[in-house]
Amino acid sequence: MSTLPLAERRVWFALPRLSAALIAIRRWPSGAPIWMVLRLLGIGLALSLSSARAQTASKGEIAFEAKLQPFLPRLLVSHDTTLCDAFLRALQKDFLAQHRGDDTLFTEPPMTVGNWMSWPSGQQIDRTGIQFAELDLDKNGKKQLLIQVTEPFNWAGNWYSLLARPTTTTDDLANEIAAFGKLQPSEQQKGTLKIVARADLPALWRWGVYDGFKSPFRVLSYERAAYLYTFIDGIMGHGHGELKAGTASLQRIHADGTLDLQCQASVLPRAGALPLPSWLGDSNPPDMLVVPDEAVAWMQSIRAIEGTEGKWGGTAHYLDNLIIRSSYTWHDALVRPWDATAFQKYYHPSAVAIRSWIQGWGYQSLSQFRLARDFEKGRRATLSALASYYEHSFGAPNAREAAALIVDNIISASFVIHGTSGSDSSYSEPDPENEIEAIRRDVDEFAKNGAHDAPSTELFHSALLIGSPTSAITEMIRAGALLQGNEPALFYALEHPHDVKALLDSGANVDEGNGFGKTALMYAAHYDLTDTVTLLLARGADVTKRTDGSAAGYVLLQFDYRTALMYAAENASIRVIRELVDAGSDTCAMDSGNRDVWNYVGRNRRLSNDERAWVALLIARKPCALKDVQ
């Protein structure tokens, strides 16, 4: 492939169009460039994971031979030794098993005592389902009704609740439940019906599979008592009260609807600093497993490419679903790798095809070029790190083979790209280094030809991204290469100051912004490109410029009106921050979220505490910017 002209080398990347829904929801982690995605109309995401089963590729599986376990479920609470020990054994057995198809993790642990209750009878009133069982919940000789109510929620699932009723009569039960549902919470407490539990929607997730039409309630009958089983996975589930994320619990159900925690186990640890869905926040499970930093960094780069669903997500939330599914696969790869080697039930594209797609996608902008470069570099580092991790932490004799398969499965689970189904053998193995060398040959050939037509925009931008001789860039500009555009040519060159100088010398506007007003200086500050920042400032770059997404169409900015100093304060080294302040940047500026420069400094991971103190002194030159050093 590398011997073909650049346009032909990339022609197979021109895949069918992006779903309009997914175009709208794309947002980049740097805070802005969803408009860049509009340039990728030739590349499409499949609209539905479940409908893509027909495209599933044949993918090999191997048995992950774990001789050691760095983590096993352990008891946190035990108020009934016999019950809780049996509960722990069931959880450990389930944890160590492979789960495929609908047999998902911790749905119903295989208990050796008691039995999981099935609902013996019920009623259907309109579209509301009512199921009930007669139980002596307080074991005092008086029976009550334990009632499960199923109500239609939306096209994707139902809403469930669990109630207790002090009498066993079912006369007028449906009307009583309907009237109960219309009461305010304060009034519901006075009624005869008692709320045992309402299902929150995350509870309908079964380790990566959404069961919107299956009740989340599992009730264990043991020694004439009823126990509500709860599993909160920490990916989609939030801990609340005594029920923590990453735990499984048994709570005794009483006749008045109250719950008494009897057994609780830590079943899923936090996998290092594994990036979780942005809406989850900090789940704080009881245990944390030390995992390879290289794998976590790679997954963070994948998450940056995936993006985050925005306000145009619609009711289907396709990107949210993809992020959720990939998060479960990543967690399995680090905590339960025997499941990560298994064939995926849903869409399973070729990892080689996706890697090739990402390589081509990377040449669309500097932001994407950096992400694609980090992705491939991180993949290679993760292969080695996971092989060592599986060998030493799990005692796996086939660690290297398992790591290779799991890395491919992570890639396949993390992207839905139309046109990437089939076996890996159907696609060419991407080689970023060879691609760069091929671009260099194309650039050299163009420069040697003398007078000719203008270069293609693709070749010109690629030449700037990889860094090319000043003479070649100058020749391309002389031949008619465009300096302006939705993404100015200057942006592509920012990692290479000599090319930036060539562009500026040829008439490039140092302050030209993109669709939402982000300038070359802002990007250089964002990426901590010190020499480029120095050059741009020397050439008169305006430090007072601000982003403005109001006139940028589909751009979705979480925070707007940002300055170059704000980008530097959040991401750059102290040298870049100092240069921008010395150049006259407004240290008192506020963005659209009323965040000042010091707020951005607080999120900068490059700076040490001493450097933060120095920055505080720097911005304290103006009274409005004075902050206490934490």
Query: Is 459 inside a domain boundary?
Result: no
pLDDT of residue 316: 55
Going by C-alpha positions, the residue among 269, 271, 278, 216 that lies closest to residue 246 is: 269
Q: Name the most confidently modeled range: 14-28, 324-338, 412-426.
A: 324-338
The verdict on 324 and 241 lying in the same domain is no
pTM tops 0.95, yes or no:
no
SS3 category, 461: helix
The count of structural domains within the chain is 3
- Written as one letter, the residue type at 177 is I
Q: Is the pLDDT of residue 61 over 80?
A: no
Query: Is 148 inside a domain boundary?
Result: yes
Contact 625, 587 (CB under 8 A): yes
Contact 99, 207 (CB under 8 A): yes
The verdict on 573 and 542 lying in the same domain is yes
Query: Is 20 inside a domain boundary?
Result: no
* Residue 125, C-beta contacts closer than 8 angstroms, at least 6 positions apart: 174, 178
Q: Is the pLDDT of residue 592 over 50?
A: yes
Going by C-alpha positions, the residue among 529, 534, 543, 533 that lies closest to residue 584 is: 543
Q: Is the pLDDT of residue 110 over 60?
A: yes
The verdict on 289 and 417 lying in the same domain is yes
The verdict on 240 and 284 lying in the same domain is no
Query: For the residues 393-415, what does the mean pLDDT come to?
Result: 94
- Written as one letter, the residue type at 139 is K
- Residue with more model confidence, 494 or 449: 494
pLDDT of residue 1: 34
Two tokens at 305?
């490419």
Query: Is 372 inside a domain boundary?
Result: yes
The CATH number that applies at residue 596 is: 1.25.40.20
- Residue with more model confidence, 281 or 5: 281
The verdict on 82 and 58 lying in the same domain is no
The verdict on 562 and 513 lying in the same domain is yes
Structural domain of residue 520, as residue ranges? Answer: 483-625
pLDDT of residue 52: 35
The verdict on 283 and 207 lying in the same domain is no
461: phi then psi, degrees, rounded to nearest 5? -65, -40
Q: Compute the mean pLDDT over every residue in the chain, rounded to the nearest whole number.
A: 83
Rounded distance between C-alpha atoms, residue 68 and residue 314, angstroms: 44
Domain termination site, one of 249, 268, 287 = 268
Q: How many CB atoms lie within 10 A of CB 78?
A: 16
The verdict on 329 and 254 lying in the same domain is no
58: phi then psi, degrees, rounded to nearest 5? -70, 125
Give the pLDDT band of residue 306 (cuts 50, 70, 90). Answer: confident
Domain termination site, one of 204, 236, 268 = 268
- Beta pairing partners, 209: 206
3-state SS record for 575-605: HHHHHHHHCCCCCCCCCCCCCCHHHHHCCCC
Domain termination site, one of 268, 286, 307 = 268
Going by C-alpha positions, the residue among 535, 484, 525, 531 that lies closest to residue 507 is: 484
Rounded distance between C-alpha atoms, residue 565 and residue 552, angstroms: 22
pLDDT of residue 276: 77
pLDDT of residue 343: 58
Q: How many CB atoms lie within 10 A of CB 506?
A: 15
* Residue 611, C-beta contacts closer than 8 angstroms, at least 6 positions apart: 574
pLDDT of residue 443: 95
The verdict on 132 and 232 lying in the same domain is yes
Rounded distance between C-alpha atoms, residue 77 and residue 109, angstroms: 17
pLDDT of residue 91: 97
Give the pLDDT band of residue 346 (cuts 50, 70, 90). Answer: low
The verdict on 314 and 357 lying in the same domain is yes
Q: What is the b/e burial string over 570-599, where b = at least 16 CB atoms within 10 angstroms of the residue's CB? A: bbbebebbebbbebebbbebbbbeebbbbb
Query: Is 477 inside a domain boundary?
Result: no
Query: For the residues 155-163, what does the mean pLDDT come to?
Result: 86
* Residue 25, C-beta contacts closer than 8 angstroms, at least 6 positions apart: 307, 309, 310, 312, 313, 314, 318, 319
The verdict on 258 and 142 lying in the same domain is yes
Query: For the residues 459-488, what does the mean pLDDT come to?
Result: 93
The verdict on 104 and 253 lying in the same domain is yes
**Span 313-339, pLDDT tens digits:** 555 556 777 888 888 999 999 999 998
Q: Name the most confidently modeled range: 109-123, 143-157, 283-297, 313-327.
A: 283-297
Query: Is 441 inside a domain boundary?
Result: no
Give the pLDDT band of residue 6 (cuts 50, 70, 90). Answer: very low
**Span 559-588, pLDDT tens digits:** 889 999 999 999 999 999 999 999 999 999
Query: Is 424 inside a domain boundary?
Result: yes
**Span 171-196, pLDDT tens digits:** 888 888 888 888 888 888 788 899 99
**Span 272-299, pLDDT tens digits:** 988 877 666 567 889 999 999 999 999 9
- Written as one letter, the residue type at 115 is N
Give the pLDDT band of residue 422 (cuts 50, 70, 90). Answer: low
3-state SS record for 69-82: CCCCCEEEEECCHH
Q: What is the b/e burial string over 434-455, where b = at least 16 CB atoms within 10 angstroms of the residue's CB? A: ebeebbbebbeebbeeeeeeeb
Cα end-to-end distance, the chain, whole Å? 55
**Span 204-262, pLDDT tens digits:** 777 777 778 888 899 999 999 999 999 988 887 677 788 888 999 999 999 999 999 99
Helical pair 530-538 and 497-505, crossing angle rounded to 10 deg: 20
Query: Is 564 inside a domain boundary?
Result: yes
